[in-house]
Amino acid sequence: MPTMKRVGLKALLVALALAVLAAACTDSGDGAEESAPDEDGSPAVPESTASPGSTADLRLVTLNLLHGLPYVACAPDSDSCQAADRLDGLFALIEDEASCPDVIGLQEIGPEQKEMIPDQLADLCEGVYAMLFEDEGSVDETMVLTSLPVVEHRSVDLSGPPWTAHWARLESDLGPVDFLTTHFASDSYNPDCTPEVCSPVCPTGVEMGTCNAIEVVHFLDENADPDGVTIVTGDLNQSLDHPRIRTITDAGYRDVWLEAGNPECDPATGVGCTCCIEGNDGLEGLATPEKTFSSRIDFVLVRAPDACELAVDSPDDGDGDGTATAVFAGDPLDPPINGVYWASDHAGVQADLSCA
């Protein structure tokens, strides 16, 4: 099963993974960070702001943020493809496009983002978010931001660095919620499993990305509250019909994108797609407003208990609370920020869930 924070081995494997990536293109314990924007630095988490009598729902966003390292064609002198400007764009989108959702899952947290996000978090949505993060020293990590009360959280170590996940148990208007955000293996490092590189829950010969899915399902089966809503979000690096995604949907998780009535991705037009902005170099693509996406590999997958008849808000925000179930950050920034039109090379997903 996925293990928590194998520190010595992790360091060796991260070094190996960095070499591979350069060639190619946890018990929260003492290492976990729960950072709230309080002036005294305390980890207190704000209570839910839902008003009495309002429809109980859970609003969320997921996005691969693009770490901006040289092996994804971001030049060393580009400040990680203008990571600071892109973060400003992301924060504006969280406020204006998603109306400060209850929970945000972020992937590809790189060295720049590790420093900037905690420094600037108090400026986002009037300081309502706590940061849930465990720095394992990798160049590609996952992070949760939430305004909900936090019961516990920790990093989940997946096979094949730098692939990781972060899990949080939250209190919400829907009851307990187990929220996990993750980044599964990409073509840059996706070998077939052997006992040396994958955890024991994964069969020998299965691709590492499918192993990551097996590990996530296994972890949540072991740790999630069976009476609560369980959510898997993130950049899963394959489309819905791939075995790694079917591993999750076959375990009872539903693709809220389709549940809401959104169309499947049309590569010809970019409608319904989340990946990826490309160019001759990373920054050239991000500075071109005419770019479009051509695949859907970013997901919100939800498993609800018997007591919850899952309801998913429409793409046009049918309940009027400011968060639809739709693409997030799928349009160029208007106006651009210092020439950058895109907060990331991915679009994300926003979702609004309730129990009917």
Q: Which residue in 303, 162, 320 sits closest to 220, CA to CA?
A: 303
Please give the C-alpha separations between residue 297 and each of 1, 101, 138, 188, 239, in angstroms, as whole numbers: 24, 21, 22, 16, 5
Each domain of the chain, given as residue ranges in start order, spans: 56-355
Lowest mean pLDDT among 47-61, 131-145, 202-216: 47-61
Q: If pLDDT is split at 50, 70 and 90, which confidence band does 303 have?
A: very high
Kindly report, residue by residue over 23-45, the tens digit of the pLDDT.
333 343 444 566 554 444 334 43
Residue 69's pLDDT is what? 86
pTM: 0.86
Kindly report, residue by residue over 216-259, the tens digit of the pLDDT.
999 999 999 999 999 999 999 999 999 999 999 999 999 999 99
Residue 12's pLDDT is what? 37
Phi-psi region of 234 (alpha: psi -120 to 50; beta: other; left: phi over 0): left
88, containing H or E segment: helix 79-96
Lowest mean pLDDT among 20-29, 268-277, 304-313: 20-29
- Mean pLDDT, residues 192-208 taken together: 97
* DSSP for residue 51: P
Q: How far apart are CA 220 and CA 199, in angstroms?
A: 15
Please give the C-alpha separations between residue 51 and each of 54, 56, 57, in angstroms, as whole numbers: 6, 9, 11
Residue 71's pLDDT is what? 65
In CATH, what class is 56-355?
A: alpha beta
Kindly report the CA angle at 92 between 88 and 95, in degrees rounded to 5?
140
Tokens coding 286 = 């991000």
Higher pLDDT, 8 or 212: 212
Q: If pLDDT is split at 50, 70 and 90, which confidence band does 161 have?
A: confident
Residue 283's pLDDT is what? 86
